[in-house]
Structures are given as C-alpha cells and as structure tokens.
Structure 1
C-alpha cells in the first residue's frame, strides 16, 4: 500500500515541556487514521507539525512524498483541512464562502454537489454566522473537500451534530475512503472511531501509548469495550466523560 503520510521521530517542545515526543506513524492511501487522546495530549501540535503550520524541533514529515514546509504550495492543491473552530467574515454567505474557497485552487471540486451531499443546499444563500452549530460543522467539512484533495485532515468532525447527521457524515467519509482518499481525524466519540478508523494512535503527554487497530487496542487492554479500553490507556477512568 502506498504511504501518504509518514512521520519519523517527530519532536516538538514548548517552554512547559514536550508536546510531541519522538512520534512515528505511517498512513496508507485510502486509510482512515484516528489520532486520539485527552485534551492537551499533543494531538493539535502533532497535526500542525504534519501540516507544516508549526515547525518541529526534530524528526521528519512527508505528505504524498513531499515536505509540508518546503513544498507547501504543491501540497496546498492536494490536501484538505477542516478545523473544529473556524472564523470567517460575519456577513459572508455560504455560496460566497464556497466560491472564494474554490477560487484558491486550480482544480476544485463542484461545491454545489458537496453542499447537496451534506444537506446544505437550502442554505446556499444564508449568512454563515446564522447557521446552526451542526450546519457550520458540515459546511467546514465541505470547505475541506473543495480542493478535491488526496488527503484530508478533520478535527472533531461531528461535534454539534445530531445522531442522524453524524451517521450521514460517516457515510460520506466512507465514500471518500472508497475513492482512495486518506483521512486523518481526531475525535472524542469512540463510536465514531470504531465505525470509521482503520487504525488509531492514542497519545498521552505527547507520546504514543498505542498504535494499531481498534480491535488490537481492546485485545491489549483488560476491557471488552473500546471506550473502556481507551479510558484505561489514557487513565481517564476517574475523570468522568468530560473528554469522551
């Protein structure tokens, strides 16, 4: 299987300590890879270093065989990114935002088809700031797919969606995977991780404490359910469901 994302001995530190500590991972074309961990475990810094928006202290990263810092312009055309919190002009309409986003790329996907796929066709002429939380979340996923990317990064992709909308997003992502698109995602919903991810990595204090399949994670723990296994790996059993 062709490797689309390769990370070797990635390290990044701040004044208060190591955010990412000698991380290694390899993601193949068409795989859905889940990066998991409690808040502050190093997920965001890892993704930022992989994307090249933060420079690592040491280690190497390649996406589609390219250095994300040195070859950013080439990668820009082939990678889609959706962040949990995105900020746009207050009065921009959905259609305008999609058109502006599409204009940034040489070969953009048909945003109207994506808008329809994610159930937002009746919101094309609505102002983005007036959308509900779930509608905004779906729009942000659409924006990540407008470049017609080979690799997509999704951060907490179904936060704010109801059960039906979440299942619809899952179906759409499964369709993307079937087309050979590589997806790297973060999520606090363990049912989502089980449904979507081919492989996962669990981070704790910047270190990988598990990498493999969901089934392997459960088998290597004293638990039968993945959510319980995840809590066991991250020692969150006593913290309630705050981060799940």
Structure 2
C-alpha cells in the first residue's frame, strides 16, 4: 500500500482518523460536544457514516488528559461491534470488553496489525502502528517541552529525556508521523519537531497539539521546507491531508 492510498483527516488537537485498505484508525479523539448537527468526518467528528464501515476500527488513546481522551468513544459500539480500543494504562475506563491497555515498551498484535508503544515526556505512551503495509507514529504528548517559565535545570532534563526516547524510536521505519508543534512553547515551538524529523526521517510529518493556532503549522512547514520530508499544513477541523 502507498501513502497516496491512505486517507487522513484532522479532527482537533491531537485527534486524527487514518483510513487504510482494511482499517479505520482513530487517534486521541476528544472534542465532541454532541451539539453539532453535521456529525461527520468533514466537520471533525466521527458519525454513523464513518462508524458503520465494514473495516476494522482501532481506537487509540495516548493518555488520560481531557484533550486526548473522551469516553464518548465507547458509545461507538452502538454502531459497530468490530472496534478495538488501545488505551494507555493510565486510563482507568472499563466500559468495553474490547480494551487493550498498554504501558511504554509493550507490543500488541491485533490480526495483521502490529502495535508498539514508546514512552512520553509527559503522561502515557506514544504509538508505533504497522498496518496494511504502512508505519504510523503518533507521539501523544511526547515532545521536547522547553518551557520559557521553567528552570534551566528542568529544561535540560527535558531535553535529555526527549532525546533518549527518540534514540529508541529512530530504529524504526516511519511513514507517517503525528507530532506536537505547540505554540505555547513560544520560540521553542519547533525544537521537538525539528529533532524528530532529522533523527527518525519520516516520509510525512503532520503537526498536532496546536489548538486553534493553525498558522503555526504554516510557520513550521516553511521553516523546514528544505528537509527531505513532506510536512503538512492544517487549516480547519475535518480537513483531509494528502501526501
């Protein structure tokens, strides 16, 4: 399967849907107010149209922070019983019989899909998923969190921990990477993304965790346009991203 054959839609924050030949993968779905009348993927939601697919649905949640996890995902079984939930072990929900809890450095095989977890520099895990011939990495809250209002000691330790984690991940091939580009870091917003691209060399890099500041995705893509990597820009919820 080629990257041009998969379909990727941005939901919000760190939330994405990836459709491959045989699977529908959902990552860190959270912003669901239940007030939208147009509940479909083009508006940044998963509605009955998407959930009634004949494809196997895999739902990933990297950790329990409320901007990454929403228990509404368990209601999707009302539409489809072919759903598996792959949750970070810090999430305590037990609302389905199809939950697989994972801690850092675990592996899981579901059919022909191979899932491996790595650590985070915040809470939970990051995911490496090999599915239908495509390798997908979702960082969760793994990032080089260089905060302007933290001590120099804190930021040096963060840099050390982040680079240590990347040294484990870089041993793997990555086709598509979802990674934080957080404007709250101010002038350091790009540090983690730049280092990640240069070390792991993904074919496609998709920014996330930027809230409503879509402009930061343009800023990052322009800053690193000379790198040998397709860097996506994002402009609205529900947007489809192309390789």
Same-fold call, TM > 0.5? no
TM-score, normalised by the number of residues in structure 1? 0.35
TM-score, normalised by the number of residues in structure 2? 0.35
Larger Rg: 1
